[in-house]
Amino acid sequence: MIREHTDFLVIGSGVAGLRAAIELSSAGRVTVITKDVATESSTEYAQGGIAVALSDEDEVGIHYEDTLRAGDGLCREEAVKALVEEGPERILELISWGAEFDTEAGKKQKLAFGLEAAHSRKRILHAGGDSTGKELERVLINKVKTISSIKRLPFTLAQDLIVEDGVCYGAIVVSERRPVAVFARATVLATGGLGQIYSITTNPQVATGDGYAAAYRAGAALEDMEFVQFHPTSLYLPSAPHFLLTEALRGEGGKLLNVNLKPFMAGYHPDMELAPRDVVSRAIFTEMGRTGADHVYLDLRDMGEDFVKRRFPRVFSTCLKYGFDITRQPIPVCPAAHYMMGGVKTDVTGHTNVKGLFAAGEAACTGVHGANRLASNSLLEGLVYGKRTGQSAADDALRSEDVLKKQKTFFPPPAHPHSIPAHDEIRGDLRRLMWQNAGILRNEDSLIDAEKKLGRWRYITESSFLSRREIELKNMIDISALIIRAARLRKNSVGAHFRSDYPQKTGDWQRHITFVKE
């Protein structure tokens, strides 16, 4: 096996990974790997915006309280405090690097702030109307390009972490079916989410839970895996992908209608369309069941044609491509798997329980989101905790001589170059199983059934592979099993985790469920 050495290895090139790499760059050589092109991550698809307390009517303390309220009693207050207090500085830093956020009409120097569900103030910054994530990715990649100590490797997938005696020395990565052992003084996981384990998701194809699975196999603690957030509104068309329809559409006045074109949210929550995401998703799911439909509608017609085209150009053009003029027709929508609140357990500086291993962004669980992420806090988390994690990884990196010694004595495990028979069928079956049995609504029977069916594929998780598709499937099965296990253990309903057989907060609901592989 080829062996390479770098000072810092960053796995993932979304907002958290790039911000960590920038922070690490002054402390040594940084290698950033991503399993597709550099821009293919959930960051690029984030439309809604980025939440930050910078407007005249807002305060950090109010942002803090809104985040805690959305998290439904399971946020870690220290983590939330760091997010909201350091958020403004990170945004101003981005602007100094060239970020162009939307401004108020006729006032080029005054940032425009929008309102989204569960926010009590207008604090959402946007770029290009509904292309905020794309703008952040552009600015961070351009910044990285100016730093000679950062090397980027596209189409490279982390197969497993190199961990011995509770210390991480890097990772085995695969490029063109060739394994390479990359040794590093510190390794940062910024691999994003896991939406692809569900048959309906807003996440890109790369979101297969790779970081969670590799970390778990390496002995890292995973926490709050039952808390998967389902976005209320994705485009529902049998022939189209489940394109995300930003929270801001409802923030600006979009109304939800059932299949009979009747408004229904007043019957589910007093805040109606501006209720927290988990409430809106369950309301839509319930209404679909009540009316026997596979979708509801999101109606923007009262906003006015000019406003919709100017404020939501990406949504407008995408829907038009599939035959829907959203200024004249209600949009068919349904909920979709969107974001993982749990993940690799870290402290507020990105440390995991494995020495030399750090995590940031959606791959990490700092506790900042609790049981339900507040809309538009994810991009801010990537910036704030990407910087924090990069700084702590630089400060607490392993000694170079220890890493070089391990590089000489490391013996990699064998990997099987063959393919998994019926791979695509298994992947499809897994995704449907997770959607039906461990999705928006769960119960003991559905979870036990899913657990039994997952057992059919145990042979895959006990093998090692060299192709992206096989490695992804192994990871998807591993992570699905942990989500089901956590959902069975939590016999109550909190935030995004809703069990129809335990619909209330009961017993020890405020605990966090943590897994460490024995």
CA distance 222 to 100: 36
Which pair of tokens denotes residue 324? 């829907």
CA dihedral 323, 327, 333, 337 (to 10 degrees): 100
Active site residue 250: no
In the set 90, 185, 277, 442, the catalytic residue is 277
pLDDT at 282: 93
pLDDT at 292: 95
Partners of 161 in the beta sheet?
171
Helix (H, G, I), strand (E, B) or coil at 504: coil
Q: Are strands 107-111 and 103-104 parallel, antiparallel or unpaired?
A: antiparallel
How is residue 201 annotated by DSSP? B
- Fold of the CATH domain 2-155+341-409: FAD/NAD(P)-binding domain (3.50.50)
- Fold of the CATH domain 423-512: Methane Monooxygenase Hydroxylase; Chain G, domain 1 (1.20.58)
pLDDT at 373: 94
CA-based nearest residue to 196, from 434, 451, 495, 461:
434
pLDDT at 380: 97
Q: Where are the domains of the chain?
A: 2-155+341-409, 235-335, 423-512
CA distance 399 to 380: 32
pLDDT per position as a tens digit, 323-354:
889 999 999 999 999 999 999 999 999 999 99
Query: Which parts of the chain have pLDDT scores under 50?
Result: none
Please state the φ and ψ torsions of residue 51, each to the nearest 5 degrees: -85, 135
pLDDT at 416: 63
- Angstrom distances, CA of residue 32 to CA of 6, 108, 180, 225: 10, 35, 14, 26
Which H or E run contains 266?
A: none
From the options 3.40.50.300, 3.90.700.10, 3.30.70.141, 3.30.230.10, give the CATH code of 235-335.
3.90.700.10
Q: In 353-490, which ranges are E strands?
A: 357-359, 364-365
How is residue 442 annotated by DSSP? B
Q: What is the pTM of this model?
A: 0.94
pLDDT at 476: 98
CA distance 91 to 79: 18
